[in-house]
Copies of this chain bind each other. A is one copy, B any other.
Amino acid sequence: MIKKISHIAIVVPDLEEAMGFWVDTLGLRLQHVEYVPDQGVDVAFLPSGESEIELLEPVEPDSGVARYMHKRGPGIHHICFEVEDITAVLARMRAAGVPLINEEPTIGTGGKKIAFIHPRGTGGVLVELYELTAEEPARRLERLNDMRRRLQRGRRVYAAGIIAFLSGLRTAGNGQSEKKSAATKQRGSEV
């Protein structure tokens, strides 16, 4: 069963500039920002009802998302549906001859099971399936701790969300005064 639209992922050349539209003008709320090493992207999570808009900025030039943006330009990258039983949905896909990018679920951000369906099988839409797993909360904490360690090593992008997310601080004061960090802090009421 399909539970809901989990998120819509939009690839952008620059998170800071993109948030000028999606957060400052449209009015979505920035919840947090994180680096997703598997995809080589910095991701800004903007909740919208029960779903999220995810803005992806490719930070690794040879990643799939970077190649996508280079080829097709910025815009919508994929839709993700939360499903109850990803294995059952993938079995139906195989039975129907739908080409899959992941034949079996892989473990994504936070420990969830994910799989991508090839746009050839969907009529031109990259579709991600996502099943929440029991271990996801623990993995999320592990990931946040990992990001905090990276932040301590000084990487700019983590300043945006992590310090404030973990400590509740809303003011600058971590010695990183770059444009993106400061602006992101101002925006994210729950960052």
Contacts and interface: CB of A to CB of B under 8 A. Distances in A.
Contact of A125 (B2, B76, B82, B92): B76
B5 A26 contact: no
A48 B122 contact: no
A5 B89 contact: no
A168 interface: no
Contact of A2 (B48, B81, B119, B123): B48
A18 interface: yes
A96 interface: yes
Number of copies: 2
A92 B124 contact: no
A64 interface: no
Contacts of A3: 49
A121 B93 CA distance: 37
Interface in A44-61: 48-51, 53
Interface string A1-41: 11111001010110001101110111110000000000000
B1 A27 contact: yes
Given A1-B27, A51-B51, A74-B123, 15 more contacts: A4-B49, A8-B79, A12-B123, A18-B123, A20-B96, A21-B96, A22-B122, A25-B93, A25-B96, A25-B98, A48-B81, A50-B51, A75-B124, A76-B76, A76-B125
